[in-house]
Amino acid sequence: MELRALGSTGLRISPLGLGTVKFGRNRGVKYPRPFELPSDREALTLLELAWDLGMNLLDTAPAYGESEERLGRLLRWCRRDWVIVTKVGEEFHDGESRFDFSAAATRASVERSLRRLGVDTLDAVLIHSSGDDLHILEREEVLPVLLDLQRAGWVRAVGMSTKTVAGGLRALECCDVVMLTYNLSEREEWPVIQAARAAGRGVLIKKGLRSGHLDRRAGIDPIQASMELIFAEPGVSSVLVGTLNPAHLRANVVVAAEVLNL
């Protein structure tokens, strides 16, 4: 897959990225069917397939259970020039999420992600929103700390995984990257995509395939329709897809390549 710019960060990423929540967490998730966490061999096979299909982007987070820790271990066996996006602000313990946007928690989270992933610099760190985007960006300590760590060379790009249009627009004013929801059923954040393109910011799409809840009754291929909708927007940098099924991953890449005329 042809790599594209992630805004003005200097990072170049594949149009499809691999979301890794399923590598580390199967509780408190909203997928249509329950699933078992993959073995290391199964996860490694998926990583190698993703790379062979032209994907270089991985998305993880402390809130994804064991995902970061497992990725760090697995990538020792699958050393490639991956671009890894992780997050700060949310943790998942004992079946529930907890949020902490303090300076101490932010710094500790970044330090832990560096150790877990086995890297010297994190490519991108996003604030994992609890839903109150504007309050987090304007009143909490997390953003100033991330910007300090970026200046210190610990982080290449700073952004936010938002939940509101207002939050997305505000994030574009102070961050390099925004991750937002955009799919066939949820298009409210379209103005953020447009504003990001005008501002030269990176846009990562989450839930582009509705976390597996696509409507297949309309007589159309919902994956193709989803990809056509998303990639019609020049402001989109990449779409994160999360799967443990190699056949699904191959199919997603084939459809994306067709839509993008690759």
What residue numbers bound the domain in which 164 lies?
A: 4-259
| Mean pLDDT over the full length of the chain | 94
Kindly state the tokens that stand for 3. Answer: 């790599």
**38-40-46 Cα angle (round to 5):** 70
pLDDT tens-digit map of 40-87: 999 999 999 999 999 999 999 999 999 999 999 999 998 889 999 999
Q: Which residues contact 72 (CB under 8 A, 6 or more apart)?
A: 115, 116, 117, 118
* Cβ-contact 184, 166 below 8 angstroms: no
Distance CA 233, CA 63 (A): 29
* pLDDT-derived band at 29, boundaries 50, 70, 90: confident
Q: Return the percentage of the chain with pLDDT > 90, whole number.
A: 87
Total domain count for the chain?
A: 1
Question: In sequence order, which ranges of 133-201 are alpha helices (DSSP H)?
Answer: 133-139, 142-151, 165-174, 190-199
Question: For position 57, which CATH number holds?
Answer: 3.20.20.100
Active site residues: 64
pLDDT tens-digit map of 88-113: 999 998 888 899 999 999 999 999 99
